[in-house]
Chains A and B, each alone.
Chain A
Amino acid sequence: MNAQAQTAPILSARGLRHSFGSTEALRGIDVDIHPGEVLAVMGPSGSGKSTLLHCLAGVITPDAGSVTYQPGPAVGQSVTISSLNEAGRSRLRLTEFGFVFQFGQLLPELSALDNVTIPLLLNGTRRKDALQRSAELLDRLGLQDNGTKRPSELSGGQAQRVAVARALATAPKILFADEPTGSLDSLAAENVLTQMLQLVREAGTTLVMITHDPRTAAYADREILVRDGAVAAGYQVAP
């Protein structure tokens, strides 16, 4: 259909199943995510969207099925996330992925700038470089005057932009976002979203974004619909 359909997926899930106690959150999900695409994940509350995202990103290991990460075209470069141990997944999340959630992700006692530098310091970037990259990102997101503020001194929209800066600081290959603008009003949501998308598209980052909001999803290249732990008919991977 388009160029993306011809390249190998950067992330590919097959037969994902996962339960919490007696709740079957995922009942056999196949998904392919192509490099550089912006994918919206939609579906009713409780349908399994967050669980799916957590499996894809190696936050949890699914009960069954596989998640394969293929960062580049080279053969032998692919990683089966679903069979890594906790340490391996944690490394992958730090070096390859970025995360943005609806709220509560910034450390309250640190300034906006320090919040953004943390993932860089964790992955071994020199402090001076980390600060410079963080300041640049805050700048790009229109937060140049807010670097010294703590999260409690920021508006919801500003805090989300700091979260976006933090998630993108390490130049992740894939950004996972779970309702990134879910707590904002229409205009603030739109501003955060368009700024995030601009950075993401510029860097060629792949974005997987859960959203309830059709207008947010409309910024994506395509969407999938999750229903009762499965991908709805019409949104499935072609066999």
Chain B
Amino acid sequence: MNNSLALLGLLQRQPSYGYDLKHSYDRYFGTEKALAFGQVYATLARMARDEFILALGDETGGGPDRKQYRITEAGQERVSDWLFTPDVPSENLQSNLFAKTVIALLTDDDAARLLELQRAEHMSRMRALTKLKQGASILQVLICDHGLFHIEADLRWIDLTGARLAQLKKELQGA
């Protein structure tokens, strides 16, 4: 996720201090990992330089922690671009597992075991996320579900690859 754009998006609601922005951010996006104040202020300074945001009435004359910011028109456009440009579907997550499987097959190691261990790991993570959902707010549930569906996709790939190991091995070793 792009932290700066999420912060910028939050600023669309109303002008805010860095302190309040950080707390909004944590509430929606930082349940697993809160944002550091330093990072918030650095991001705000950068976005001000890029004219996506403006510091309001500089009367206190302090650093970025004393300023209230509002989003500019350019900032709103930037958010809108971000929102409506679909992300490139990423397969990065799987690439390491793919590499391990191929190496295991090429070296006559136990690829099935490797996949089974990964499967157990995935299931255990899914159980943990499912537990988190119990009694959680709808926001929290949505975040967990997103994680769950992604892990599930990997898991289905693991199962399918497991079922295709014999065929895969034949092709790899014939090549």
Interface residues in chain A, defined as those with a beta carbon under 8 Å from any beta carbon in chain B: 44, 214-215, 217-220, 223, 225, 232-234
| Contact status A232-B116, CB under 8 Å | yes
Closest 8 CB pairs of A and B: A218-B126, A218-B130, A214-B152, A214-B155, A218-B127, A234-B116, A215-B148, A219-B130
| Contact status B163-A44, CB under 8 Å | yes
Report B131-151 residues with CB < 8 Å from chain A CB: 148-149, 151
| Contact residues in A for B151 (Cβ distance below 8 Å) | 214
Q: How many A-B residue pairs have CB under 8 A?
A: 35
Q: In the complex, how many angstroms separate the beta carbon of B17 from the nearest chain A beta carbon?
A: 39
Q: Digit string of B138-175 for contact with A (CB within 8 Å is 1, else 0)?
A: 00000000001101100110010001000000000000
**Is there a chain A Cβ closer than 8 Å to B74's Cβ?**
no
**Is there a chain A Cβ closer than 8 Å to B5's Cβ?**
no
| Contact status A215-B159, CB under 8 Å | no
Query: Which residue of A is nearest B129, CB measured?
Result: A218
**Is there a chain A Cβ closer than 8 Å to B83's Cβ?**
no
| Contact status A234-B152, CB under 8 Å | no
Select the residue from A44, A214, A217, A220 with max chain B CB neighbours within 10 A: A214
Contacts A44-B163, A214-B156 supplied; 10 other A-B pairs, CB < 8 Å: A44-B159, A214-B126, A214-B151, A214-B152, A215-B126, A215-B152, A218-B129, A219-B130, A225-B119, A232-B116
**Given A44-B159, A44-B163: A218 touches B113 (CB 8 Å cut-off):** no
Q: In the complex, how many angstroms separate the beta carbon of B135 from the nearest chain A beta carbon?
A: 11
Of the four ranges (under 10, 10 to 19, 20 to 34, 35 or more), the interface on chain B belongs to: 10 to 19
Roughly how many angstroms separate A219 CA and B123 CA in the complex, as a whole number? Answer: 10
| Contact residues in A for B119 (Cβ distance below 8 Å) | 225
| Contact status A233-B113, CB under 8 Å | yes
Roughly how many angstroms separate A100 CA and B94 CA in the complex, as a whole number? Answer: 36
Query: Which residue of A is nearest B117, CB measured?
Result: A234
| Contact residues in B for A220 (Cβ distance below 8 Å) | 127
| Contact status B123-A214, CB under 8 Å | yes
| Contact residues in B for A225 (Cβ distance below 8 Å) | 116, 119
Query: Which residue of A is nearest B128, CB measured?
Result: A218
Select the residue from B116, B127, B159, B163 with max chain A CB neighbours within 10 A: B127
| Contact status B116-A218, CB under 8 Å | no
**Is there a chain A Cβ closer than 8 Å to B120's Cβ?**
yes
Q: In the complex, how many angstroms separate the beta carbon of B136 from the nearest chain A beta carbon?
A: 12
Q: In the complex, how many angstroms separate the beta carbon of B164 from the nearest chain A beta carbon?
A: 11
Roughly how many angstroms separate A98 CA and B57 CA in the complex, as a whole number? Answer: 70
Roughly how many angstroms separate A218 CA and B125 CA in the complex, as a whole number? Answer: 9
Q: In the complex, how many angstroms separate the beta carbon of A209 from the nearest chain B beta carbon?
A: 14
| Contact residues in B for A217 (Cβ distance below 8 Å) | 123, 126
